[in-house]
Structure 1
Amino acid sequence: MEVKTEKQEASSASMIEAVDDNENDLRIGERLVEKDRDSTLWSSSVSHKRILLHSIAALLAGGVFGYDSVINGASISMPAFLLYFGDHTTTGSLFVPSIWASMWTAMSYLLQAFGGFGIGLVSDRIGRRWACVAAACISIVGVGVQFAAMSRGMLLGGKMINGLAIGCIFASATAWASEISPLRLRGPIQSGIVLFMVLMQAIGLVTIRIYVEDMSTSAFRKVFALQWIWPVAAGVAFIIMPESPIFLLRKKKVDAAKRSLARLYGIDNHIAARLAVLRKQMEQEHSQNEAHGDASYLELFQGTNLKRTLTVIWLFLAAGLNGASLLSQNTYFLIIAGLPAVHAFDVGIGGFGLAVIAIVFSWFFMERFGRRCIWLVGVAVNIVVMAIIGGLHYSTSQGSLWAIAILMNVLLAWQLLTMTSIGWVITAEVSSYRLRAKTQSIGVISNAATTWLFTFTVPYVYNTDSGNLGARTGFVFMGSSMLLLIGSWFLVPDLHGLNTNEIDWLYAQNTSVRHFQQHADSAKTSAPEKVHNTDV
C-alpha cells in the first residue's frame, strides 16, 4: 500500500508540474503574440524571416493565377492568334467573335469557382499543402491542352481545366499562408500574393509583347508553353513546405504541429509556447464543434457568420462592380479602338509596372491609414476616373485615345493598391479558424463567379459587333462603383491589429464594422475569456 501511495503521489506531482509548465508556456506564448502585435513591419520581418521564406510557396500560387489571367485576356490581341483563331470583318480586319472572347475568359473563371468550392472540402481532409500540390498537377495538364490546341473548342477545354486548378490552388494557398502567418505579417503576406500575381501578369504581358510581331503559329504557343513554369514551381515548393500547424492540431497531430512550428519559427524560438497558444485556440474551436457540430458551408450563412461571409462575397463582387474586367481587357479594347498593337502592349506593361510599385506601398498604407479607409477612398476615386473615361469617348482625337489608354492603366494600378490587395487581406482575416478554409473557398468562388459574369458580358458591351459602347462603358462602371461604395460602407471592416479571437468577439457583440477600431481595446481584454461562449 505504501509503495502504491508513493507512486500515486509521484504521478500527481508530475501532473501538477506538467500543468504548471503548460500554463507557463501559455503565458509566454500570449506575451509573444502581444509583442508581435506591437512590433513594426521591419522588426517583425526580421524576427520571422523563416516564415517569409516559406511564404514563397503561396506567392508562386499567386503567380499561377496571375500569368493565366493575363494570357487569357491579352493573347487574343496577338496578330498570330487572331490569324489562327479569329475571323475577318467585312472590311478585312481581324477580330475574335464576342462569343469566343467571352467564353475563353468566362469559362475559365467559372471553373475556378467550382475548384474553389471543391477544394475547401478536400483541404480540410488532406491538408492545405497536398491540396496545392494536386492542383498544380492539374494545372500542368490544362496548360498542355492549351499548348496543343488546334481548335477554339480544344483551347476552351484547356482553359477550363486550368481554371479548375487555379481555383483549387489559390483557395488552399491563401488559407495556408494565413494560418502560418504571425499577426503583424498577415496583411503583408496576403498582399505579397497579390504582388506576385501582378508581377506574373506583367511578365505575361512582356512575353506577349516579345512575340506580338511574330505571325507564325508558334508565337502564341510559346506564350502558352512558358505558363508551365509556374505550376511546376508552385507544386515543387509545396512538396517541401511544412503543413499548416493549425490544420495539424485540428487533426490532433500535436507532434507534427510542433515540428511544423519548429520549421516555421526555428527550433529554439519558443516552440512550446507558440504551440500552447495554438492549442488553446483549438480547444476553443473544439468546444464550438461540440456545441454546433463540424464546420459546414451552411454555417457560413448562419448567426454572426452571415455578415462575415457577406463581407467576403462583397469584397470579391467589387472586382466586377469596379470595372476590373474592362481594365484587364484594356489591350484588346485599345486595339479595336484604333491604338496600334505595339503601343497598346507598351502602355499595358507600364501600367503593370506602376501596379507593382503601388502594391508595395500598400503594405505601409494599410497599417497607417487602415484597411477600411483605403478601400472607401479607392472606390470613390474609381467613380471619378470611370466617368472621365466615359466622357473621353466623345472626343475623336488621337490624344483622347492615348488619354484613355493611360487612365485605364493608372486606374488598374489604383485598384490593385486600394482594393485588390486590401480585399485579399481582409478576407484572410475576417473568418474564424474553424471556418477559414471554407471561407477562403467562398472567396475564390465569389471572385471567379463575379469575374466569369463580367468578363462574359463586358465584351458584348464595348465590342464592335455587339453593344459598341466603346469608352462609354466607363459610365456603366461609374454607376456600379457608386453601388459598391454604398455597400462597402456597411460591410467592410478595419481589422488592423486584431487577432482571430478578437475579431470573433467583435462580430459576436454585433459591433458595427464602422466602429471596430473604436472597440479594439475592449476586444483585446474581453475576447480571451468570452469568445469561447459565442457563436463563431
Structure 2
Amino acid sequence: MTADQKTETNHLENVTSTEPAPHDDSPPTTWEALRQNPLIILFCLYANVGALMYGFDNLVLSLSLQKFGSLVHGTYTIPAYWQSLWNALSQVATMIGSTVGGFISDRLGRRVAFLVAACLSSAGFAVVYTANTPGVFLAGKIINGLALGIALTTGQTYVSEITPLPLRGIALSAYTFCMNLGYMIAASVALPRLTMTTDAAYKVLFACGWVWPGLLFLFLLLVPESPYFLVANDKPAHAARALTRLGTNPARIPALLDEIIRTNEEEKRRAAQSKEASFLDCFRGPNWRRTRIILYCNALPQVIGSSFMTNGPYFLVQAGMSAAKIGMMTEIGIAFGIASSLLTGYVMTVYGRRTLVLFGMGLSTGLFTVMGIAGCFPHSSAALWVVGIFLQLSWWVYGPAIGPAMAIAGEVSAVRLRAKSLALGFTFNYFFSTVWNVIMPYLYNSDEADLGGLIGWIFAGMGAVMFVVLFFELPETQGRSFEELDEMFTEKVATRRFAEFQCSRVMMEYVPKGVDE
C-alpha cells in the first residue's frame, strides 16, 4: 500500500468513526436547512455564475446597434442575416459547449470544467471587445457561447450534487434568478448608452463581461469537488473531505457518504455494467423517460418566448417606441422576472414543482394570447402599448415556469448519468434556441415579415401544446431523494402518482449511521 493510499484510508476511518448525532425523525425544514448550510449557499451562487453570464451576454447585442447597424428611416437596423448568424451560431456554440461540458465534468471533474469555461469566456470577451467588423464580433460570440455551455451544464450538475434535499429545488431554480439578474445588470449598463454613437457606448459593456470569468477564476481554489464525482471515481476519503469543506455537520458525514456510495453502487448494479456510462444510456430503459422530462424542461424557455423577450428592446425600436420608454419598460420587465424568481423559491416549497410549472405555462399562454389580439391592430398606439406591456409582463412567467422546471431537470436523472443527462438537456435547449434566434429577426424586423404583436399567437399556440404534454409527462419530485426517484422510475410509476407513491426503501439521508431502523 502506498503512502497516499494509507493517508486516504486513515482519513476515511477517522471520518466514519465520528460519533453519531442524536436521532431525530423529522428532517430540517427548508428555512432551517438554509441557516445550517451557509457555505453550500455560497458555492451554489458560484455555480450559477454561468447563468449570470448567460443573462448578461444575451443583452450585449442591444448595444451593437450603433457599431454594426445602419440608419433606416431614422432607426438603427441590423440586417436580419447578421442577427440570425450572431444569435444562431452563438447558440450552436453553447449547444456544443454543453455536450463538451458533460465529457469534461465526468472525466476531469466539475472544478476543471469551471476552469475551462472561465478561460474560454475570457478569450471570447477579448475578441468581442476588439471587434471592428460583424465577422469578428461573431467569432467572439462563438467562443463565449462554448464557455456558456460548459458553465451552465456544470453549474446545474454541481448544484444538484452538493445541496441537501430540502434545499435542492430552491438551489436548482436559482438558475432562473441569476439569469434574470444578469439581464438586469446588462440592461442597467446598456440602455443608457442606446443613444450614444461613440465606441465607449458598446466597449464599456463588453469590458464588463470580464467580471464573470474573473469570478470563476478568483474563487475556484475555494470550491470543493463534487462528492458524487469523487465517489464515482473510487475516492471516498476525498469525498468525505469535500463534504467537510461544504460545511456539513461532521456527525452527518458518515451517513451522507454511505448514501452517496450506496446510490452509486445501486445504479451500477441496475445498469449491469462498469462505472463508465455513455450518452446512449440516457436513451435506454427507464432512463429514456427521465431524459424526455429533461428535454421538456429545457424546451420551456423558448416555449414561453425567451428569444422574443430578450430581443424586446430591439423589437420595441422596430415597433416605433421611443428609447426612453423602451429603457423604462425593459428594466421593469426584467425586475418582474427577478421578483417572480424570488417568489417562486418560496411558493415551490408549498405547492411543489409540477403545479407551478403548469401554472406558468397557463399564464404564458394567456399573456401571449392578449398580445396576439393587440397585434391585430398594428396602427393603434394603444395596441402598441398593450404589446409592450404584455411583453414585459411575460417576464413574470420565468419564475413559475422555468425555475421549478430546472429543479426537476436537475433531479430526475440517474446519478451516474447526471452530467451527461444535463448536457443533453442544455444541448437541446440551445438547439431549440438556435432555431428561434434564426427565425425571430425575420418575424419582427421592419424590412422582413414585420409581424409585431401578432408574434404572440405563435407562442400562445406553443404554450397550449406544451401544457398538455407536461400534464401527462411531468412528475412531482419535491422531497424525493435520488434513491427514491431511482425506484419510482424503475417501477414505472405513473406521472400523477409520484406525489403520493410510497417507496419500499427506508431513506437514510437524515438517519445517522448506527441508529436502528
TM-score normalised over the length of structure 1: 0.88
Residue 280 of structure 2, aligned match among 276, 292, 298: 298
Which of 496, 500, 515 lines up with 1:518 in the alignment? 500
Q: What's the offset of the Cα at 1:526? A: 8.9
Aligned residue for 2:237? Answer: 255
Q: Secondary structure at the match of 2:250?
A: coil
User: Is residue 313–residue 446 contact of structure 1 (8 Å, CA) maintained in 2?
Assistant: yes
Q: Deviations over 1:75-94 (max 9, x none)?
A: 3xxxxx333211243x4542
Q: C-alpha deviations, 1:324-372, integer Å up to 9, x for none? A: 2112211111111011122112111111112111111111111211211
AA partner of residue 391 (structure 2):
M
For residue 483 of structure 1, give the secondary structure of its aligned residue in structure 2. helix
Are the structure 2 counterparts of residues 345 and 445 from structure 1 closer, same or farther at C-alpha, using a change threshold of 3 Å? same
Matched with 2:69 is 86
Which residue of the partner structure matches residue 514 of structure 2? none
Would the aligned equivalents of 2:308 and 2:440 in 1 still touch at CA under 8 Å? yes
Cα distance in 2 for residues equivalent to 1:265 and 1:458: 46
Report if the CA contact (8 A) 1:289-1:295 is conserved: no
CA distance in 2, matches of 1:83, 1:355: 28
Distance 1:458 1:185, change over 3 A: same
**Residue in 2 aligned with 1:190?**
172
More displaced stretch, 318-327 vs 155-164: 318-327
Stretch moving more, 124-133 or 313-322: 313-322
Query: Once the 2 structures are TM-superposed, how far is the Cα of residue 420 of structure 1 from its aligned partner?
Result: 1.3
Tell me the secondary structure at the aligned position of residue 94 of structure 1.
strand
**2:291 aligned to which of 287, 305, 309:** 309
- The 8 Å contact of residues 133 and 239 in structure 1, kept in 2 or not, is answered as no
**Cα deviation, residue 285, structure 1:** 3.3
8 Å contact from structure 1 (residues 362, 421) kept in 2: yes
Relative distance call for 1:270 and 1:504 in structure 2 (3 A) is closer
Q: Which amino acid aligns with 1:54?
A: F
Match of 1:46 in 2: 35
What is the CA–CA distance in structure 2 between the aligned matches of 1:30 and 1:428, rounded to whole Å?
31
Q: Which amino acid aligns with 2:503?
A: S
Q: 2:323 aligns with which of 341, 351, 361?
A: 341
1:68-467 aligned at under 5 Å gives the runs 68-72=57-61, 74-75=62-63, 81-89=64-72, 91=73, 93-266=75-248, 268-288=250-270, 290-291=272-273, 294-395=276-377, 396-413=379-396, 415-467=397-449
Equivalent position to 1:67, from 44, 53, 56: 56
Kindly state the Cα deviation for residue 286 of structure 1 after the two structures are TM-superposed. 3.8
Q: 1:215 Cα shift?
A: 1.4
Q: Deviations over 1:187-231 (max 9, x none)?
A: 111122321221111010110023223210221111111011011
- Which SS does the other structure have where 2:330 is aligned? helix
Aligned partners of 1:301 and 1:273: how far apart in 2?
A: 32
RMSD of Structure 2 on Structure 1 (CA):
2.3
State whether residues 303 and 459 of structure 2, in contact with CA within 8 Å, keep that contact through their aligned partners in structure 1: yes
User: Is 1:501–1:527's contact at 8 Å kept on the other side of the alignment?
Assistant: no
Unaligned runs of 5+ in 1: 1-17, 76-80, 529-536
Deviation of residue 318 (structure 1)? 2.1
TM-score (norm 2): 0.91
Q: Is the 2:360–2:401 contact (alpha carbons within 8 Å) kept by the matching residues of 1?
A: yes
Residue 427 of structure 1 aligns to a residue whose secondary structure is: helix
Which structure is higher in helix share?
1
Shift of 1:53: 2.2
- Counterpart in 2 of 1:9? none
Check the 8 A contact 1:30/1:277 in 2, yes or no.
Answer: no
Q: Distance in 2 between matches of 1:289 and 1:306?
A: 13
Residues 1:29 and 1:104: Cα distance change in structure 2 (over 3 Å)? farther
Deviation at 1:374, TM superposition (A): 1.0
Q: Distance in 1 between matches of 2:414 and 2:91?
A: 26
Cα displacement string for residues 221-254 of structure 1 (whole angstroms, at most 9, x for unaligned residues): 1111101101110232233200001111111112
Which has more radius of gyration? Answer: 1
**Conserved? CA contact 2:156–2:172, under 8 Å:** yes
Q: How many residues align?
A: 496
Letter in 1 for 2:347: F
Flag the 1:264–1:92 CA change in 2: closer, same or farther, 3 A.
closer
Specify the SS of the correspondent of 1:295. Answer: coil
C-alpha distance in structure 1 between counterparts of 2:260 and 2:508, whole Å: 15
**What is the letter of the counterpart of residue 306 of structure 2?**
A
Aligned-pair identity in percent equals: 27
Q: CA deviation at 1:31?
A: 6.5
Counterpart residue identity of residue 408, structure 1 = L
CA separation of 1:83 and 1:60: change in aligned 2, threshold 3 A: closer
Amino acid at match of 2:389: I
The DSSP-based 3-state class of the residue aligned with 2:288 is helix
* C-alpha spacing 1:127/1:205, structure 2 compared with 1 (3 Å): same
Distance 1:54 1:93, change over 3 A: closer
Separation in structure 2 between the aligned mates of residue 275 and residue 181 of structure 1, nearest angstrom: 13
Question: What do the CA deviations read for 1:25-79 (whole angstroms, capped 9, x no partner)?
Answer: 89x69968x744xx2221111111221122221132221222112224x33xxxx
Give the equivalent residue in structure 2 for 1:10.
none
